Amino acid sequence: MSPAAVYALLLAAIVLEVIGTTALQLSQQLTRFWPSVLLVACYTTSFYILSLTLKVIPVGIAYAIWSALGIVLISAVGLVCFKQRLDVPAMIGLALIIAGVVVVNLFSKSISH
């Protein structure tokens, strides 16, 4: 599998995790049926796709990218869809998460480029 294909799979896993987390918010503590179904389907598929990327990317690196980008994206969804504002320390923290992922991807010898 090419590196581009692996990263495309990882991105798909991240997007499904963000959709699942959005459905978690919409499920109102799992009391609404369809958002709860979407949550389970997205999380299950996301973890399955994440597992496929582990054939090529080390688990620590894949999970770091998956969780970091998921945090940033769900924060954006929270801002846009749920009007959840972030304060300056939260935005600085998210910027540091992004910087960490960039450093890992650009400079780590643990992953194939």
pLDDT in tens, 38-79: 999 999 999 999 999 999 999 988 988 999 999 999 999 999
CA–CA distance from 33 to each of 2, 20, 28, 46, 60 (Å)?
39, 14, 10, 20, 34
Confidence of residue 101 (pLDDT cuts 50, 70, 90): confident
**Please, which pLDDT band fits residue 111 given cuts at 50, 70 and 90?**
low
Tell me what the pLDDT averaged over the chain comes to.
Answer: 93
Name the residue ranges covered by the structural domains of the chain.
3-107
Return the pLDDT at 25: 97
The predicted model scores a pTM of: 0.88
